[in-house]
Amino acid sequence: MTKSPARSAKPAPSKKAGDGPKKRSGLKLALLVLAPLVLAGGGYAGWMLLAGAEAGAVARAADGEGGQGKDAMQVSSISTELAAETSFTHTYALSVLIAPRCGVANAPALKAASDAEAHADGMLATLSWQSAARRAAATTEKSCTFLRQEVTEGELRAMELPKNKGKTAAAH
């Protein structure tokens, strides 16, 4: 007999179905990944459906039965920036701002129309003065003639304004 102990043999690994790392099928992984996405998408779609229906009901209530409640000016209006550059207030502001360089313009009808616009829409009046200030800053001796002509035409349009209001009031 030898002095070294006998070596014991290690058991061979068994290849049973339950042994070893478990693998998931591709179908199960796809379901696990897609289920939250489908649920979230369905929840979002349902929320939009309910919110859209509620918004539509509010809009229909604001419109009323016969389409009343719609402001025709807001529906067919031009942008505020463009309206500011074509308003009576803009033309009056030009007449005031170019006065030191081009001379004082007498425009009482334009001032009255400008005051009426400022009373009706303060934001429009502010934007009109800002736009006129930008134009007046670039005034040269050559452009004085053009700007004075614009002020004169604006005064003539403003003088016709009360006449047009009288015609529309008589038509109603």
pLDDT band at 36; cut points 50, 70, 90:
confident
Share of the chain above pLDDT 90, in %: 22
Share of the chain above pLDDT 70, in %: 66
Specify the amino acid at residue 99. Answer: A
Enumerate long-range contacts of 140-148, CB under 8 Å, 24 or more apart: 141/101, 144/98, 144/101, 144/102, 144/103, 147/94, 147/98, 147/102, 148/98, 148/102, 148/103, 148/105
- The predicted-structure confidence for 65-97, as pLDDT tens digits, reads as follows 444 555 555 555 667 777 788 889 999 999 999
Residue 2 has pLDDT above 90, yes or no: no
- The predicted-structure confidence for 124-134, as pLDDT tens digits, reads as follows 899 999 999 99
pTM of the complete model? 0.51
Residue 56 has pLDDT above 60, yes or no: yes
Please name the residues in contact with 94: beta carbons below 8 A apart, sequence gap of 6 or more. Answer: 132, 135, 136, 147, 150, 151
DSSP state of 69: T
Map out the domains of the chain as residue ranges.
Answer: 31-73, 78-171
Residue 23 has pLDDT above 80, yes or no: no
- pLDDT, mean over the chain: 77
Phi then psi for residue 74, to 5 deg, are: -75, -35
- Give the pLDDT confidence score for residue 79 in this predicted structure: 75
- Give the pLDDT confidence score for residue 132 in this predicted structure: 92
**Nearest Cα to Cα of residue 147 among 89, 83, 97:** 97
Measured distance CA(145)–CA(141) in Å, rounded: 8
pLDDT band at 64; cut points 50, 70, 90:
low
- pLDDT top residue among 162 and 114: 114
Mean pLDDT of 98-102: 89
